[in-house]
C-alpha cells in the first residue's frame, strides 16, 4: 500500500500492520523504520483540518534532538487520491505501556530492577510532558494508562495524540476529544457525552493525579476500596462522581484495600497534593495541582528516598522509620515488588521468594539497570503564569474500545439462527487457597480427562453435529457471551441489549434475568466473555476494562478487578488458573489473572484472536486462514484452510482437538474441523450465528444468534 506525503509529494510504502482500532490502522513505513503511519478507516475533512493545525503547531519536545520522542506528534500528513487519509508519526521503540511498570508482576517480568526511584522519575517525566502540552494550549482529554509508553530508563512517550483536544485560533474552531475512560474522568464530567464537552487543563490534572497515584501505589486506583455500605458496591466512576476518596480527610463508605500499600508510604507533600486534587478539587476543579506542581513535589520526594540496608533495590522516603517494602514482601508471602537481582526476579515466577535477610552487598550479585533518565526539569516563572518546561536529560498504544453496538430486532421466527459461546472456565474466586490442586473443579471449556470422549476417541466419532435439541428465547439483541455452570445444570447468557439471564438447562424460561446497562457502560464495556466460578455460585464477566464478579443466584454485583489488556477470550486451564488472552501495546498476550503473570506474548502476531481452548494451551487466530498457536511454546501448531470472515464465531474444544466455526451468512452453516489433521469434518446449516462454545465433555455445542435466541447442539454420532 502506497500513500503520498503532503509536505513533499513523496510516495511511501506501508508494510506490516502494527495495530489498529475503531478509527484506523497503524503500519510500519518501509522507507524509514523510525516512522509509523496511521491510516483512518473513514477519513473526514474535519480530521484533515485538525491534523493540519497539529502539524503546523507542534509542542516543545526538547529530547527529540537527543533521540527520544516524548510526544508522538504528527510529522506529516498522508494523501491518497487527493484527500488526507492519515499521518506520519515517530515510532516509540523499546517502550512499554505505563501499566507494565506500576503493576508489580509485569514490572518484575519486563524490567526487574525498575525500582521506586524509577517510578518517581517516571511520574516526574509524565508531569513534564503534560505541562508542555498545556503550555502550547493542547488538552489531552482521554488521559489513561494505555496512551502513555515508558522506557526502561523511565522516559515517557505520549501516544494517540490525534485524539487530543485541539484549538485552531486562526479559525476560532475547536476539535474536541470525544472519548475518555471513566476511571480517569473527573467527577464533573462523569456521565456526560464527552464529544460535546470542551475539555480544560484541570480535567487533565485529575487523570494525571490518578496515574501518579497508581505509579507510586503499586497500581492501586485512588478510588478503589472495600465498600462498607449496604447493597452492591458502586463502580469506580460512581465513587469518583461523589468524591469518595478513601485516603482523604472526609468520611466515606470505603476503607483502603488490604492489598494496597499504606498511604503513608508516600512523601507528606505528595499526600497533601492527592487530597487537594481528589477532595478539595472535587468541588472546585481549579484547586487541582497542575503538572509543574506535581513535577516539583516529585523531584523533592525523589531526592529524599533512602536505600534499605537489607535490599539495595528497596528505596523509601526518609520520613519513614523502616523499609515498607520489606514489610510488604512479607505481606505478599515473599513476592518482593523490587527484587535484588534479575535472577531473583526470575525465581519469583516459579516460587515465592523467602523472607529477606540482612546480608552484605555484593557487586557481582547485582545486575545494574540503566540509569533512570530525567526527561525534563521545570523552570518556574513568576507566580500566576504558566510554567514552561525545557529538557536537560538524555535518552502506540491505541486505546481500543468497542464503539460498535448493533441493534437488532427480536424475531422468534429466526429459529434456525442459534449460537452462543462462553469461553468459560471456572474461576476460583472464593476460598481458592483452600482448594486442593488435585480436585477437578473446572467448568464448560475445561477437559475432564477421566470422562472426555474427545480425549480418547477418533475424529470419526465426533464428526457429526445434530440439529438443535433445545432453543431458548429471552434477549432482544445479539448474544455476545454464554457460560455453563460446573455441573452443567444451568448456563448464563448475555446480550448487547445490556441484559443477562441464568437459564435452567431444560426449561424455556430463565431462572433469573437482569439488565446490566446501569452497571456496564455499553458499548465501550460490552461483555467479552463469561464464566461460572468453581462453586457455581459466582459468575465472572470480562469487559473491555475489567473482570466483574456477580452472584449467580441473585445476579447482584460483588466486586471488580482491572485488566491490563483488552480481553478477547477467557478460560481456565487444567490447573484452574484463569487465563485471559487479549491485546496490549499492539501485542497479543496470554495472562494468568489471579497470579498476575504473563504466560506468553507474541510481538509480531498480527492476527485477531478468535478463541482459546478450555485447557488454556491453544488459541485460534484469524488471518487469511485460521491458525492454531501453542501457548506454552509460542509456536504455530496448525493452519486450517477455513476462510476468515467478519463476525465469524469460533470455539475450540476443551482439549483443543476440534474447532467449530460459523459462516455468518443468510444461508450459512456451523462447521467442525479436526485441528490435528486440518480437515473439515462436518457442516450443519445455521444462519446469523454470533458466538459458539463447547461443553465440558465436548459433546455439546452452545450457540447464540444475532436476534437473541440460543441453541444447544449435540456433537458426535
Which band of pLDDT confidence, cut at 50, 70 and 90, is reported for residue 352? Answer: very low
In a domain, 170, yes or no: no
In a domain, 322, yes or no: no
In a domain, 275, yes or no: yes
- CATH of residue 504's domain is 2.130.10.10
Check residue 594 and give its pLDDT. Answer: 60
Check residue 275 and give its pLDDT. Answer: 97
Between CA 570 and CA 491 the distance in angstroms is 16
Between CA 504 and CA 526 the distance in angstroms is 24
Which band of pLDDT confidence, cut at 50, 70 and 90, is reported for residue 607? Answer: low
Highest mean pLDDT among 80-94, 196-210, 349-363, 392-406: 196-210
Q: Are residue 101 and residue 86 in the same domain, yes or no? A: no
- CATH of residue 242's domain is 1.10.510.10
In a domain, 62, yes or no: yes
Q: Are residue 85 and residue 189 in the same domain, yes or no? A: no
Check residue 182 and give its pLDDT. Answer: 94
The answer to whether the CB of 566 falls within 8 A of the CB of 582 is yes
Highest mean pLDDT among 258-262, 558-562, 704-708: 258-262
Crossing angle (nearest 10°) for helices 201-216 and 268-275: 140
Domain boundary among 63, 90, 117: 90
Percent of the chain's residues with pLDDT above 70 = 73
Is it the case that residue 220 has pLDDT exceeding 80? Answer: yes
Strand partners, 316: 306
Q: Mean pLDDT lowest for which of 72-76, 115-119, 347-351?
A: 347-351
Rounded to 5 degrees, φ, ψ at 117 are -65, -40
Q: Are residue 136 and residue 219 in the same domain, yes or no? A: yes
Is it the case that residue 387 has pLDDT exceeding 60? Answer: no
The answer to whether the CB of 398 falls within 8 A of the CB of 20 is yes
The answer to whether the CB of 12 falls within 8 A of the CB of 30 is yes
Which of helix, strand or coil describes residue 500?
A: strand
More confident residue, 486 or 68: 68
Q: Are residue 77 and residue 184 in the same domain, yes or no? A: no
The answer to whether the CB of 657 falls within 8 A of the CB of 384 is no
Which of helix, strand or coil describes residue 243?
A: coil
Q: Are residue 72 and residue 109 in the same domain, yes or no? A: no
Between CA 170 and CA 52 the distance in angstroms is 12
Q: Mean pLDDT lowest for which of 157-161, 243-247, 651-655?
A: 651-655
Q: How far is CA 617 from the centre of its chain?
A: 21
Check residue 383 and give its pLDDT. Answer: 23
Between CA 147 and CA 399 the distance in angstroms is 7
**Domain encompassing residue 11:** 2-90
- Strand ranges for 91-218 from DSSP E: 95-97, 148-151, 156-158, 166-168, 173-175
Q: Mean pLDDT lowest for which of 292-301, 482-491, 599-608?
A: 599-608
DSSP at 703 = E
Domain boundary among 90, 122, 142: 90
Q: Are residue 630 and residue 527 in the same domain, yes or no? A: yes
Check residue 494 and give its pLDDT. Answer: 87
For 237, 285, 292, the CA distances from 182, given in Å and listed in that order, are 6, 17, 25
Check residue 365 and give its pLDDT. Answer: 32
pLDDT by residue (tens digit) across 123-158?
Answer: 999 999 999 999 999 999 999 998 999 988 899 999
Q: Mean pLDDT lowest for which of 226-235, 326-335, 365-374, 686-695?
A: 365-374
The answer to whether the CB of 650 falls within 8 A of the CB of 661 is yes
Nearest 5°: CA angle at 306, between 305 and 309? 155
In a domain, 262, yes or no: yes
pLDDT by residue (tens digit) across 644-672?
Answer: 887 788 988 888 889 999 876 666 788 89
Side-chain half-sphere CA neighbours of 497 within 13 A: 21
CB within 8 A of 653, min separation 6: which ones?
A: 454, 613, 614, 659, 660, 694, 698
Buried b / exposed e along 116-136 (16+ C-beta atoms within 10 A): bbbbbbbbbbbbbbbbbbbbe
Mean per-residue pLDDT, 63-87: 90
Between CA 97 and CA 158 the distance in angstroms is 10
Check residue 297 and give its pLDDT. Answer: 96
What is the chain's length? 717
**C-alpha dihedral (24, 498, 696, 704), degrees to nearest 10:** -80
Cα Rg of the chain (Å, integer):
26
90's grid cell: 515517530
Check residue 578 and give its pLDDT. Answer: 67
Between CA 91 and CA 65 the distance in angstroms is 15
More confident residue, 536 or 302: 302
Percent of the chain's residues with pLDDT above 90 = 37
The total of other beta-carbon atoms located within 10 Å of residue 434's CB is 7
Average pLDDT, the chain: 77
Which band of pLDDT confidence, cut at 50, 70 and 90, is reported for residue 617? Answer: confident
The total of other beta-carbon atoms located within 10 Å of residue 56's CB is 10
Q: Are residue 133 and residue 204 in the same domain, yes or no? A: yes
Mean per-residue pLDDT, 339-358: 61
Between CA 573 and CA 579 the distance in angstroms is 7
Q: Are residue 574 and residue 507 in the same domain, yes or no? A: yes
For 57, 173, 430, the CA distances from 282, given in Å and listed in that order, are 33, 29, 36
Buried b / exposed e along 237-256 (16+ C-beta atoms within 10 A): bbbbbebbbbbbeeebbbeb
pLDDT by residue (tens digit) across 177-210?
Answer: 999 999 999 999 999 999 899 999 999 999 999 9
Which band of pLDDT confidence, cut at 50, 70 and 90, is reported for residue 372? Answer: low
DSSP at 382 = S
Between CA 689 and CA 470 the distance in angstroms is 16
Cis peptide before 366 (omega within 30 of 0): no
Is it the case that residue 717 has pLDDT exceeding 80? Answer: no
Between CA 417 and CA 691 the distance in angstroms is 11
54's grid cell: 497539529
Which band of pLDDT confidence, cut at 50, 70 and 90, is reported for residue 469? Answer: low
pLDDT by residue (tens digit) across 400-431?
Answer: 333 333 333 333 233 333 233 333 333 333 33
Is it the case that residue 211 has pLDDT exceeding 90? Answer: yes
Check residue 121 and give its pLDDT. Answer: 94
Which band of pLDDT confidence, cut at 50, 70 and 90, is reported for residue 525? Answer: low
Q: Are residue 193 and residue 279 in the same domain, yes or no? A: yes
CB within 8 A of 666, min separation 6: which ones?
A: 687, 688
Is it the case that residue 88 has pLDDT exceeding 50? Answer: yes
Cα distance between the two ends of the chain: 48
Strand partners, 709: 473
- CATH of residue 18's domain is 3.30.200.20
In a domain, 302, yes or no: yes
Catalytic residue, candidates 61, 76, 109, 142:
142
Check residue 357 and give its pLDDT. Answer: 37
For 15, 69, 129, 340, 556, the CA distances from 392, given in Å and listed in that order, are 36, 14, 13, 30, 53
Predicted TM-score (pTM) of the model is 0.55
Which band of pLDDT confidence, cut at 50, 70 and 90, is reported for residue 270? Answer: very high
Q: Are residue 85 and residue 159 in the same domain, yes or no? A: no
Check residue 430 and give its pLDDT. Answer: 30
Block residue for cell numbers 483443543: 656
In a domain, 690, yes or no: yes
* Nearest CA-CA partner of 539 in 518, 528, 555: 555
Q: Mean pLDDT lowest for which of 252-256, 429-433, 589-593?
A: 429-433
The total of other beta-carbon atoms located within 10 Å of residue 478's CB is 24
Q: Is 142 a catalytic residue?
A: yes
Q: Are residue 77 and residue 135 in the same domain, yes or no? A: no
Domain boundary among 90, 110, 142: 90
What DSSP element (H or E) covers 640? strand 636-643
Count of the separate structural domains present in the chain: 3
Between CA 149 and CA 94 the distance in angstroms is 9
Which band of pLDDT confidence, cut at 50, 70 and 90, is reported for residue 694? Answer: confident
Q: Are residue 29 and residue 145 in the same domain, yes or no? A: no
In a domain, 414, yes or no: no
Q: How far is CA 245 from the centre of its chain?
A: 24
Amino acid at each position: 500500500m502506497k500513500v503520498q506525503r503532503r509536505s513533499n509529494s513523496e510516495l511511501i510504502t506501508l508494510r506490516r500492520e502494527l495495530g489498529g482500532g475503531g478509527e484506523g490502522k497503524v503500519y510500519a513505513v518501509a522507507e524509514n523504520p523510525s516512522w509509523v503511519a496511521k491510516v483512518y478507516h473513514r477519513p473526514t475533512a474535519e480530521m484533515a483540518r485538525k491534523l493540519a493545525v497539529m502539524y503546523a503547531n507542534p509542542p516543545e519536545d526538547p529530547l527529540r534532538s537527543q533521540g527520544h520522542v516524548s510526544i508522538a506528534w504528527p510529522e506529516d500528513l498522508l494523501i491518497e487520491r487527493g484527500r488526507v487519509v492519515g499521518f506520519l508519526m515517530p515510532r516509540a521503540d523499546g517502550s512499554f505501556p505505563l501499566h507494565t511498570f506500576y503493576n508489580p508482576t509485569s514490572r518484575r517480568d519486563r524490567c526487574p530492577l525498575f525500582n521506586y526511584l524509577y517510578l518517581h522519575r517516571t511520574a516526574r517525566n509524565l508531569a513534564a510532558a503534560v505541562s508542555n502540552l498545556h503550555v502550547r494550549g493542547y488538552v489531552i482529554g482521554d488521559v489513561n494508562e494505555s496512551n502513555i509508553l515508558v522506557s526502561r530508563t523511565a522516559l515517557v512517550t505520549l501516544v494517540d495524540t490525534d485524539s487530543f483536544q485541539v484549538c485552531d485560533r486562526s479559525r476560532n474552531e475547536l476539535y474536541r476529544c470525544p472519548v475518555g475512560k471513566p476511571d480517569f474522568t473527573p467527577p464533573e464530567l462523569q456521565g456526560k457525552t464527552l464529544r460535546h464537552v470542551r475539555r480544560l487543563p484541570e480535567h487533565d490534572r485529575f487523570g494525571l493525579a490518578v496515574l501518579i497515584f497508581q505509579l507510586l501505589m503499586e497500581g492501586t486506583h485512588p478510588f478503589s476500596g472495600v465498600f462498607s455500605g449496604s447493597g452492591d458496591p458502586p463502580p469506580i466512576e460512581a465513587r469518583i462522581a461523589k468524591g469518595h476518596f478513601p485516603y482523604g480527610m472526609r468520611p466515606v463508605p470505603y476503607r483502603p484495600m488490604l492489598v494496597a500499600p499504606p498511604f503513608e508510604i508516600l512523601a507528606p507533600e505528595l499526600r497533601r497534593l492527592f487530597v487537594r486534587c481528589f477532595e478539595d478539587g472535587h468541588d472546585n476543579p481549579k484547586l487541582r495541582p497542575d503538572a509543574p506542581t506535581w513535577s516539583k513535589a516529585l523531584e523533592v520526594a525523589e531526592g529524599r528516598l533512602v536505600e534499605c540496608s537489607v535490599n539495595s533495590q528497596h528505596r523509601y522516603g526518609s520520613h519513614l522509620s523502616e523499609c515498607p517494602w520489606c514489610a510488604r514482601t512479607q505481606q505478599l508471602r515473599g513476592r518482593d515488588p523490587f527484587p535484588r537481582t534479575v535472577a531473583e526476579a526470575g525465581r519469583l515466577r516459579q516460587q515465592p521468594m523467602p523472607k529477606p535477610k540482612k546480608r552484605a552487598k555484593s557487586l557481582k550479585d547485582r545486575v545494574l539497570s540503566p540509569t533512570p533518565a530525567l526527561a525534563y526539569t521545570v523552570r518556574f516563572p513568576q507566580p500566576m503564569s504558566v510554567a514552561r518546561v525545557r529538557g536537560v536529560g538524555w535518552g502506540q498504544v491505541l486505546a481500543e474500545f468497542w464503539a460498535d453496538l448493533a441493534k437488532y430486532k427480536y424475531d422468534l421466527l429466526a429459529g434456525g439462527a442459534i449460537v452462543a459461546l462462553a469461553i468459560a472456565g471456572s474461576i476460583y474466586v472464593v476460598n481458592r487457597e483452600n482448594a486442593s490442586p488435585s480436585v477437578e473443579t473446572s467448568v464448560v471449556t475445561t477437559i475432564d480427562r477421566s470422562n472426555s470422549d474427545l480425549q480418547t476417541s477418533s475424529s470419526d466419532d465426533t464428526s457429526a453435529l445434530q440439529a438443535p435439541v433445545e432453543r431458548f428465547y429471552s434477549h432482544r439483541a445479539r448474544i455476545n457471551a454464554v457460560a455453563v455452570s460446573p455441573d452443567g445444570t444451568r448456563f448464563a447468557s448475555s446480550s448487547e441489549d445490556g441484559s443477562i439471564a441464568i437459564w435452567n438447562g431444560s426449561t424455556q424460561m430463565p431462572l433469573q434475568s437482569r439488565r446490566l446497562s446501569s452497571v456496564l457502560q455499553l458499548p465501550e464495556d460490552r461483555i467479552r466473555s463469561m464464566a461460572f466460578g468453581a462453586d457455581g455460585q459466582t459468575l465472572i464477566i470480562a469487559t473491555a476494562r475489567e473482570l466483574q464478579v456477580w452472584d449467580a443466584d441473585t445476579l447482584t454485583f460483588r466486586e471488580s478487578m482491572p485488566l491490563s489488556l483488552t480481553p478477547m477470550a477467557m478460560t481456565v486451564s487444567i490447573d484452574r488458573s484463569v487465563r485471559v488472552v487479549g491485546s496490549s501495546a499492539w501485542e497479543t498476550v496470554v495472562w494468568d489473572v489471579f497470579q498476575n503473570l504473563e504466560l506468553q506474548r507474541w510481538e509480531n502476531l498480527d492476527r485477531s484472536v478468535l478463541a482459546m481452548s478450555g485447557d488454556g494451551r491453544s488459541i485460534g487466530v484469524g488471518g487469511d486462514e485460521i491458525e492454531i498457536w501453542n501457548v506454552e511454546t509460542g509456536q504455530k501448531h496448525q493452519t486450517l484452510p477455513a476462510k476468515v470472515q467478519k463476525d465469524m464465531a469460533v470455539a475450540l474444544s476443551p482439549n483443543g482437538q476440534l474447532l467449530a466455526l460459523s459462516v455468518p451468512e443468510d444461508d450459512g452453516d456451523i462447521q467442525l474441523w479436526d485441528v490435528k489433521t486440518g480437515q473439515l469434518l462436518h457442516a450443519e446449516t445455521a444462519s446469523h450465528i454470533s458466538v459458539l462454545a463447547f461443553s465440558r465433555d465436548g459433546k455439546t455445542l452452545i450457540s447464540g444468534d444475532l436476534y437473541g435466541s440460543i441453541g444447544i447442539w449435540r456433537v458426535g454420532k
